[in-house]
Structure 1
Amino acid sequence: MADRPQMLVEDFEELARLARRAGEGIKLEFIYGKLGAKPVPDGDHVEIIQWLIRHFILSRPDLSMYPGTELKVEAYRGGRAIPDGILAPIRSFTGQPVWKNPDPVLMVVEVTSFDSDTDRRDRVEKPRAYAETGIPVYLLIDRDACEVLVYSRPVHGVYSSISRLPFGEQVELPAPVDFTLDTEPLKEWVR
């Protein structure tokens, strides 16, 4: 009984639509059959995402960084997540519905928030859901630990490679991203 979904995915999508329409800044996610609320990002969180967007625009003009975009996740696409950023080829989501097909996604990005659900959500559930979905790279910017984690090579629903480096190091984002990220500026956005 503990593994039964709290609701049907269709009911979740309607609830999420109503939350978006209410305009309260509430973003709802549905991962492994459980409803979750994504916290409203603080200013440092927003700056980190903007910093990443600038880097990719300058270094990989063939790609777009889509912030806060709704995405179908998990092995059978029953989950719904809103990554802080999605890296995909330009125009990947043209004509798609609100909850996007993850097939063109090269990398998802999450930046930890200072709330009680961060550990479970960003460090446990999302790596599993993104790997099951087949997303090649998951970049976690962990502001609590002041480190960057790069999950890659999804095999049988888990990431087979995990790299962990402290802020300030050069982080290699593997194929298909193929990009080196200097994480020194991340030190500015830690409490």
Structure 2
Amino acid sequence: MTASSAKRPQMTLDDFEALERGAPETVTLEFIAGKLEVKPVPDGDHAEIIQWLLLHCMRQRPDLALYLEQGLAVERYRAGRARPDASLAPRRTFAGKGEWSDPGHVLMVTEVASHDSDTDSRDRNEKREAYAAAGIPVYLLIDRDRHTLTVYSEPQDGRYVQDPAFAYGETVEIPDPVGIRLATEELKDFAE
């Protein structure tokens, strides 16, 4: 594969959006780094982790809302389409917006890494790069395989400068503009 063909997208953004509109409700499609991605259906532990995060956010930042599976236009020039597991933003940020919203007001996106073969590439690399390129201040990766939370922050030149990882059970400080503290002991209940 030549360098030029490696950068060529699988399809146009318009083709992706048409395909995504016609997909059944049981399938979640994303367009990251020029590639069509199929996001796995979450399991019960995944849902419990999102609820855990939702409660922390609501208690500490009632001025914000945690939006689940909100479509975001990401990457440089908004050429990608992602549906993070959760997006933290001021309340009513997405009111009246289309299916794929500008992430300009999103303070944090969260992915709960699934147990599938594509997780390493998608959640740990491609999405991280897409979120940084879009300028999203914080990307929280809750990694069920590694039993860690990684807090990516300070996006600069398409990458996050900070990326500390914390083991389940540690207290995790999410930096500004989010400014919340996560007590992660409960996540051990959802470790496999």
For Structure 1 versus Structure 2, the TM-score category normalised by the shorter chain is over 0.9
Alignment of 1:6-85 (within 5 A): 6-19=10-23, 22-23=24-25, 25-85=26-86
Following superposition, the deviation at residue 75 of structure 1 comes to: 1.1
2:178 aligned residue: 177
Q: Name the CA distance, whole Å, in 2 between partners of 1:16 and 1:43.
A: 25
Q: Name the CA distance, whole Å, in 2 between partners of 1:190 and 1:167.
A: 9
- TM-score, structure 2 length as denominator? 0.96
Q: Which runs of 4+ in 1 moved over 2 A?
A: none
2:104 aligned residue: 103
Following superposition, the deviation at residue 70 of structure 1 comes to: 0.8
Say how many residue pairs are matched.
188
RMSD: 0.7
Q: Name the CA distance, whole Å, in 1 between partners of 2:61 and 2:105.
A: 16
Structure 1 unaligned segments of length 5 or more: list them.
none
Structure 2 unaligned segments of length 5 or more: list them.
none
1:5 aligned residue: 9
Deviation string for 1:113-168 (max 9, x for gaps)? 01110000010101111000000000000000001000000011110011111000
2:154 is aligned with 1:156: no
Deviation string for 1:18-72 (max 9, x for gaps)? 11xx22x100000111000000001000110111111111211000000111111
2:143 aligned residue: 142
1:189 aligned residue: 190
Q: Name the CA distance, whole Å, in 2 between partners of 1:14 and 1:188.
A: 40
Identity %: 56
Following superposition, the deviation at residue 190 of structure 1 comes to: 1.3
